[in-house]
Structure 1
Amino acid sequence: MVRSFVGGLELILSLLKSTDPSVLACVCAALAKIAQDKENLAIITDYGVVPMLAQLVVMEEDILKEHLAEAIAHCCAWGVNCHEFGCLGAITPLVNYMNSKDKKVHRATAYALHQLSADPFNCITMHQSGVVSFLLETIGSSDEKLQEASAGCLSNIRKFALAAKNNYKQC
């Protein structure tokens, strides 16, 4: 249905240039929903959603952080988007979102980090950014989605660390 509005996706993406955190939060929330459809995700990827979202990770407002992390998580499901977020420097600022006092930010961030951890390069950056201690803390949360995302991210980091260790021994 979203695709039937000619130019609608381009218009939504153009709103990511706003300086208003409330507008940005709403656009990111909409993009998180839109990106759940693979065809929509392919289109917004072609329009450059990844660099646009990556530029926003330095924003400080918790409401934006929550929706931005969700949008990033859903955008990881297409092609090399996951790797591109890492190359654009989005990982370390996302890890810092775990310092927020807002549990919704923790849940969305853990979900984004879990999706981003599918790329080995991102796992290295996450580990170097100190994410493990945050994930070990949130894995014990009463929020099941937060637990699962944290555990999944830790699992991926561990899997890639073991693979790297085994490859190193073979040299």
Structure 2
Amino acid sequence: MRRMQEEMVRSFVGGLELIVSLLKSEEQEVLASVCAAIANIAKDEENLAVITDHGVVPMLAKLTNTTDDKLRRHLAEAIARCCSWGNNRVSFGNERAVAPLVHYLKSKDKHVHRSTARALFQLSKDPDNCITMHEAGVVKPLMEMVGSEDTVLQEAAAGCISNIRRLALANEKAKYS
């Protein structure tokens, strides 16, 4: 069933381009809905390749300075999903999307925390993004989230901290070798 849905979506490649172009909207509600749709579309690798070709990464990155929690939640989820294709996680770093995401952890909304931790975990698989996160003060809020009752949040926070720590250890080792 899922495979049939994915093939149907791909048969409407122009529709994927249209969805990405909706990221230019000025309406927060539209942007949040489009980000939620992109998060679902990006579950399929071929669909993700198509939306990447249509410039989804820089368009999502431009939205990261939002203060709207509904948009933050869906945007962070879309970013997390889009990181699994090609160089996208590096591109998000190059587009300066990483530091603004760290500030999402100050939100009062637990759903924002969960999707943001997932996005940060995916982004932390790139060393430059780890440096940006560390400089933006990500470790302390993530340490607190490791103690959450939400296991998805726990695992994403712990994975992100682990990647940052691994990079720090590699740098220490290189410094004294």
TM-score (norm. length: structure 1): 0.98
**Displacement of 1:169 after TM fit?**
1.6
Which residue is equivalent to 2:92?
Answer: 85
Give the one of 119, 122, 125 matched to 1:115.
122
Which residue is equivalent to 2:157?
Answer: 150
Which residue is equivalent to 1:33?
Answer: 40
**Displacement of 1:165 after TM fit?**
1.2
Task: List gaps (5 residues or longer) in structure 2.
Answer: 1-7
Deviation readout 1:49-76 (Å, 9 max, x if unpaired): 0000000001110000000000000000
Return the alpha-carbon distance in structure 2 between the equivalents of residues 21 and 165 of structure 1.
44
**Displacement of 1:24 after TM fit?**
0.2
Return the alpha-carbon distance in structure 1 between the equivalents of residues 84 and 74 of structure 2.
17
CA RMSD of aligned residues (A): 0.7
State the SS of the aligned residue for 2:176: helix
Give the one of 144, 162, 167 matched to 1:137.
144
Task: List gaps (5 residues or longer) in structure 1.
Answer: none
Which residue is equivalent to 1:98?
Answer: 105
Return the alpha-carbon distance in structure 1 between the equivalents of residues 29 and 72 of structure 2.
11
The answer (yes or no) to whether the contact 2:49–2:85 under 8 Å persists in 1 is yes
**Displacement of 1:4 after TM fit?**
1.1
Deviation readout 1:68-91 (Å, 9 max, x if unpaired): 000000000011100110111111
Residue identity matched to 1:28? C
State the SS of the aligned residue for 1:78: coil
Which residue is equivalent to 2:5?
Answer: none
TM-score (norm. length: structure 2): 0.94
Return the alpha-carbon distance in structure 2 between the equivalents of residues 158 and 120 of structure 1.
11
Give the one of 23, 36, 45 matched to 1:16.
23
Q: Any runs of at least 4 consecutive aligned residues in structure 1 with deviations exceeding 6 A, and if so which?
A: none
Return the alpha-carbon distance in structure 2 between the equivalents of residues 146 and 6 of structure 1.
33
The answer (yes or no) to whether the contact 2:13–2:50 under 8 Å persists in 1 is no
Return the alpha-carbon distance in structure 2 between the equivalents of residues 85 and 91 of structure 1.
7
Which residue is equivalent to 2:81?
Answer: 74
Which residue is equivalent to 2:4?
Answer: none
**Displacement of 1:6 after TM fit?**
4.2
Report sequence identity in percent.
Answer: 64
Return the alpha-carbon distance in structure 1 between the equivalents of residues 104 and 24 of structure 2.
21
What count of residue pairs does the alignment treat as equivalent?
170
Residue identity matched to 1:103? K
Deviation readout 1:107-160 (Å, 9 max, x if unpaired): 000000000000000000000000000100100001111000000000100111
1:125 corresponds to 2:132: yes
